[in-house]
Structure 1
Amino acid sequence: MSNDLPKVENPVLIVEGKHADNERLKAESDYLRGTILEDLQDRMTGGFTPDNFQLIRTHGMYQQDDRDIRAERQKQKLEPLHNVMLRARLPGGIINTEQWLAIDKFADDHTSYGSIRLTTRQTFQFHGVLKPNIKLMHQTLNSVGLDSIATAGDVNRNVLCTSNPVESELHQEAYEWATKLSEHLLPKTRAYAEIWLDEERVETTEDDVIEPILGSNYLPRKFKTTVVIPPNNDIDLHANDLNFVAISEDGKLIGFNVLVGGGLAMTHGDNATYPRCADDFGFIPKEKALDIAAAVVTTQRDWGNRVNRKNAKTKYTLDRVGAHAFREEVEARAGIKFEDSRPYKFTHRGDNFGWVKGIDGKEHLTLFIENGRILDFPVGQFEGKQLKTGMREIAKIHEGDFRLTANQNLIVAGVDPKDKATIEKIARDHGLISDKVSNQRMSSMACVAFPTCPLAMAEAERYLPGLVDDVEAILEKNNLAGESIILRVTGCPNGCGRAMLAEIGLVGKGPGKYNMYLGADLAGTRVPKIYKENVDEATILAEIDALSARWSKERNEGEAFGDFVIRAGIVAEVVISARDFHA
């Protein structure tokens, strides 16, 4: 495939103007150290100063508070119940059983919620860690070979990879490249080790280059990288800045097609922001992957918008300077020319649930974890499900490892056939396997939103289970039982739940109100278009009912919901994100 990329006449390579304040704090941070150590000693508050509030993100943490009790604490003239959420670095999502048992115990002993959350970034999060336990958290992770370096902030974040890399030799090699990319693009500052692990500082001189790839001011905005193996787009590559699509011959990895400039975040009411699919730059041999990765990152480092953070992501840089010029700069920096892309096709996405046999004769069990929340549920809709206990019991006897997916699910990988029945029994006894889970529920996803995310405008995780109940009933009513629609809910437009790659995407606008988007495809290569704005839950269900009825009666054989709503003229297809998305 040839790779004709858009050109821009007289492109603006550097955006002039007063830099965003984040640029000041990064420049003054002494390579991400700031005054975090001093803040840790201040027990008069559970939070961090404004600058450190931002800097701790590059150490993998977000300061949050429990929004369910915020108003009550204000009445009592108390500050919000500040705590941190930590996101671990887990390239490719692999975690061994010793590590799992360690994070399970920490969640029990030192978090407010007691849960382990699996995220769309193919890793796990702790929520509700109070300031006195933050250093212990990092040291606990370090004791079992884990960390949270660069899982948030203006850096390259956790590198995703198509799940279960022992299904084939190709999967294994792709995972190895994910780990290489993660290490290559990590910050080189020793700030993390000094602050959290009590490592002594090694002094440097002004001539020392501390960050050869990320630079002294790091990136203009967050940056996300993936490795994906067709035909399953299970990591939603178009949500990411840099993607390596594995190309194989005779089952062996020979190289990658490189796609640049995807991203889903936007701002309500700001037409200068929009979701965007990545551009295919072309093919490279695998041994050039690290050079190309560094070249893409440094080009974005130097050309990205440091004036307006809302337009600072790679996708906006490509649209401002032209993808053609960006690719030429990458080629010059990497010392390699992209070849024409090799043919590939995505036919589906998501996870394959149940047992899969690997090439080594081992078995692999993919478990559906609704909303990625691993917890023993004492009351409510999930009463009786002891997911956390079940995973702990499996970890105690399992001789393989676990693989977290980019869809908030979990794979028990490398199971000896003799242990298969035992592990399945544990999983069933604790609610980790249920034959009653519908295709629709397995095709639905939400971000965390309330009560922990400070950006949430509407419910997402807590809203989704009941919403799926209603959608299941609608599908059955319209003779669509067994069918499914890729349904995703996010509490705000920042993209964590990847609603902008859903056949039906609901994006929080306010309490109980959402913007409703329609029209992504099953392969995850098309963003949806707005259908209804600022609608309540009753209206959403009425619209899904009416649309499902039409889909049932009017669709072509095998036609997916997202393709139907475009063919039927219900929404227009988004071809070029900026122009078509807001038109």
Structure 2
Amino acid sequence: MVELKPEHSPVEHIKANSNRLRGSIAEGLLDKASGAIADDDTQLTKFHGIYQQDDRRLRDERRHQKLEPYYQFMIRLRLPGGVLSPQEWLALDDLAHRHGNATLRLTTRQTFQFHGVLKEHLKPLMQGINAAGLDTRGGCGDVNRNVIANTNPHRSALHAEVHDYTRSLSERLLWHSRAYEELWLDAAPNEAPEYEPLYGETYMPRKFKIAIAVPPENDCDVFANDIGLIGIADDDGGLAGFNVAVGGGFGMTYGEPETYPRLGSVIGYIDKQYVVDVAEQIVAIQRDFGDRVERKHARLKYTIDDRGLDWFRDTLAERLGYPLAAAQPYEFKHNGDRYGWIEGTDGHYHLTLFIAAGRIADFDDYALMSGVRELASIHHGEIRLTGNQNLIFANVPATERERFDAVIERYGLDAGQRSSALRRASMACVAFPTCGLAMAEAERYIPAFIDKLEAIMKAAGLGDDERITVRMTGCPNGCARPYLAEIALTGRALGKYNVYLGGNPSGERLNKLYRENIGEEEILETLEPLIQRYASERNAGEAFGDFVIRAGIIAATREGRDFHEQTPSHT
């Protein structure tokens, strides 16, 4: 376990002195004079799945009125593999209307976020989530976050078995303090000593993420995670084990080249019965060796790059008592979702709905939330959230498809499936008005940006079935996994973005900076000739990200430490 030292970051001291994540949160919730909680406690509530935010649209007005910011909270669930029942969905829908802003946000980690929750609604919301059989423990904070996986366990027996491991991993790596039960569920303090068997007093140096993918599908972008597990089938089509990748992560800071996105490195293979033990030891290595002085340097990717992949393999083998076997062959072909109806191996059907930027709401011209609520009310299978912010109604009997289709037609829920492949391959983070890190718009802007990009593609002779992965974030952090996109925009200032090119459709290559700090007009002027060249010069079946590299427009980037290297020419 880690010993706290004076030079450790302030957050490390907050954690160590928090009475195992309690802090003064209970007192802050009772303080009616402010909509906020104490600054130190905002670090601790993250472990409980809660971020304090404020409505940035009202900052200036409230400052002039000598009022504090309009504080509100975002709450993120722990939902291993993104699976829930229709009854759980209906409960969350109800809670969003009673305690939030009447929307649900699907995240890129297969879970939900509630937005616009005021302080007095925090405890009732958390108790409602618990009553639904769900929780938010570890939704945020310096612990293992929500474990994600390929989207549909009913597609095959192998997919179903892989999904089981999301829950096993999540449960093994959960933090144990009773602070959650005491603060939110009014449990009486337990006089027995508390002990965090894995995390200790200071938990992890930073957040930790795990994903599981089943080739040839990489819809969860497995290499963007601290641990990426690649399912390997046995001769009968069942699950034999996993290739293990380590050191993925996407956060970085502008102007600090020592920070960079990194793809996970495959270090070997492990039989399935040992994979949870392997993951626990990888977490423990990062717990013990991760940087606790500089938080920007505190992810596993930097520990590995600083010490070397051979050091990491040797350390893992020493802790396990055995080395990993050689990695097994695999091939990824795509990292997107498949929309509409798909038949599973058991004759049941699975419906994937496109959800623009992951926002479930009733819009002026589109009653999406009401339509999904009606589908949930007639569904007897499962509901799944995808890693691309979309929604699956899984395990629908063939006899029920007619009822589903009637609801879909009444609410126009298939509108997303009828949109262009470009739009369906787009993704954005929340950004303004609530994210405190946002420098530019993302969720609210990407629909209009895609409109303009569609017009450019149409003028170049590219049809609606042409897929280019476009991702947009309001800052340089990786919430929408921008650094894997064929075209990515990351916010620099209001209306200004960096443009990155060169990711590939299988999620196995980083993109690279092409233009810096430019607005919409210049972005479109930059992309238009490239798309025209792509339309006229591409090889058969060649993706846009592959074309810009073959044509010498941008350099191929697979190593994080090469991410900031300049491309020699932008011609």
Counterpart of 2:267 in structure 1 is 281
- Separation (CA, whole Å) in 1 of partners of 2:423 and 2:273: 40
Q: Are 2:99 and 1:110 aligned?
A: yes
Q: Are 2:75 and 1:92 aligned?
A: no
Task: After TM superposition, give the deviation of residue 175 of structure 1 in Å.
Answer: 0.5
Q: Are 2:432 and 1:450 aligned?
A: yes
Counterpart of 1:152 in structure 2 is 140
Show structure 2 runs of 5+ residues with no match: 567-571
Q: Are 2:223 and 1:238 aligned?
A: yes
Counterpart of 2:551 in structure 1 is 568
Task: After TM superposition, give the deviation of residue 336 of structure 1 in Å.
Answer: 2.5
Show structure 1 runs of 5+ residues with no match: 1-12
- Separation (CA, whole Å) in 1 of partners of 2:372 and 2:418: 20
Task: After TM superposition, give the deviation of residue 71 of structure 1 in Å.
Answer: 1.3
Task: After TM superposition, give the deviation of residue 274 of structure 1 in Å.
Answer: 0.4
Match for 2:91: what amino acid?
A: A
Task: After TM superposition, give the deviation of residue 511 of structure 1 in Å.
Answer: 0.4
Q: 4+ residue runs of structure 1 moved beyond 6 angstroms?
A: 13-17
Match for 2:214: what amino acid?
A: I
Q: Are 2:390 and 1:409 aligned?
A: yes
Counterpart of 1:137 in structure 2 is 125
Task: After TM superposition, give the deviation of residue 201 of structure 1 in Å.
Answer: 1.9
Task: After TM superposition, give the deviation of residue 16 of structure 1 in Å.
Answer: 9.0
Q: Are 2:519 and 1:536 aligned?
A: yes
Q: Are 2:65 and 1:80 aligned?
A: no
Residues 159 and 226, structure 1, Cα contact 8 Å, conserved in 2: yes
Q: Mapping of 1:210-225 within 5 angstroms?
A: 210-225=195-210
Deviations 1:416-471 (A, max 9, x none): 21111111221232132125311010011100000110100000001100011111
- Separation (CA, whole Å) in 2 of partners of 1:183 and 1:569: 47
Match for 2:473: what amino acid?
A: T
Residues 257 and 564, structure 2, Cα contact 8 Å, conserved in 1: no
Counterpart of 1:477 in structure 2 is 459
Task: After TM superposition, give the deviation of residue 80 of structure 1 in Å.
Answer: 0.8
Match for 1:322: what amino acid?
A: G
Residues 4 and 13, structure 2, Cα contact 8 Å, conserved in 1: no
Deviations 1:176-195 (A, max 9, x none): 00100000000011111111
Counterpart of 1:300 in structure 2 is 286
Q: Highest relative contact order (Cα 8 Å, sep 6+), 1 or 2?
A: 1
Deviations 1:92-151 (A, max 9, x none): 00010111111111111221x210111101011100111111011111011111000001
Q: Please report the RMSD computed on the Cα atoms of aligned residues, expressed in angstroms.
A: 1.4
Cα separation, partners in 2 of 1:548 and 1:195, compared to 1, 3 Å: same
Deviations 1:389-428 (A, max 9, x none): 0011111111112000010000011112111111122123
Match for 1:551: what amino acid?
A: Y
Match for 1:69: what amino acid?
A: L
Match for 1:391: what amino acid?
A: V
Match for 1:555: what amino acid?
A: R
Match for 2:168: what amino acid?
A: K
Task: After TM superposition, give the deviation of residue 580 of structure 1 in Å.
Answer: 4.4
Cα separation, partners in 2 of 1:361 and 1:373, compared to 1, 3 Å: same
Counterpart of 1:558 in structure 2 is 541
> Which one is further off, 478-487 or 403-412?
478-487
Residues 14 and 305, structure 1, Cα contact 8 Å, conserved in 2: no
Match for 1:330: what amino acid?
A: L
Counterpart of 2:569 in structure 1 is none
Residues 233 and 350, structure 1, Cα contact 8 Å, conserved in 2: yes
- Separation (CA, whole Å) in 1 of partners of 2:301 and 2:409: 44
Task: After TM superposition, give the deviation of residue 484 of structure 1 in Å.
Answer: 2.1
Q: Mapping of 1:376-455 within 5 angstroms?
A: 376-378=362-364, 383=365, 385-434=366-415, 436-455=418-437
Match for 2:12: what amino acid?
A: E
Task: After TM superposition, give the deviation of residue 359 of structure 1 in Å.
Answer: 2.3
Q: Secondary structure at the match of 1:402?
A: strand
- Separation (CA, whole Å) in 1 of partners of 2:4 and 2:460: 52
Aligned match for 1:64, one of 50, 53, 61:
53
Aligned match for 1:176, one of 134, 159, 164:
164
Q: Secondary structure at the match of 2:273?
A: helix
Residues 14 and 303, structure 1, Cα contact 8 Å, conserved in 2: no
Residues 147 and 166, structure 2, Cα contact 8 Å, conserved in 1: yes
Q: Secondary structure at the match of 1:394?
A: helix
Q: Secondary structure at the match of 1:64?
A: strand
- Separation (CA, whole Å) in 1 of partners of 2:75 and 2:343: 33
- Separation (CA, whole Å) in 2 of partners of 1:14 and 1:392: 49
- Separation (CA, whole Å) in 2 of partners of 1:27 and 1:580: 35
Residues 115 and 127, structure 1, Cα contact 8 Å, conserved in 2: yes
Task: After TM superposition, give the deviation of residue 18 of structure 1 in Å.
Answer: 1.2
Task: After TM superposition, give the deviation of residue 244 of structure 1 in Å.
Answer: 1.1
Counterpart of 1:8 in structure 2 is none
Match for 1:314: what amino acid?
A: L
Task: After TM superposition, give the deviation of residue 17 of structure 1 in Å.
Answer: 7.6
- Separation (CA, whole Å) in 1 of partners of 2:216 and 2:538: 25
Q: Are 2:488 and 1:505 aligned?
A: yes
TM-score (norm 2): 0.97
Aligned match for 1:255, one of 232, 241, 266:
241
